[in-house]
Amino acid sequence: MNPARKTVERLYVEAKTAMLVASDGRLVGALAVAERVGVPAENVRANVLPDEKAHAIESI
């Protein structure tokens, strides 16, 4: 198991939520990475500017 997936699984065991927020506009790429590390598709955001990332995280 890759270390990132292991970390994400541990977050869920601790009743926390994992999210993937990408700055580029490629949702397909972000979803592929999220799948590999165990982040649910509904917790993936793409094309988010750096100064908008905090708001994206607060939205879930």
How large is the average pLDDT for residues 14-31?
Answer: 90
Q: Does an H or E element contain 37, and which?
A: helix 27-37
The number of angstroms, rounded, from the C-alpha of 57 to the middle of its chain's C-alpha atoms is 9
Report the C-alpha gap between 48 and 16 in whole angstroms: 22
- The percentage of residues in the chain with a pLDDT greater than 90, rounded to a whole number, is 60
Q: For all residues of the chain together, what is the average pLDDT? A: 90
- Confidence at residue 10, expressed as pLDDT on a 0 to 100 scale: 93
* pLDDT at 26 (0 to 100): 86
At 54 the pLDDT is 86
pTM over the 0.85 mark: no
In the chain the first and final C-alpha atoms are separated, in Å, by 27
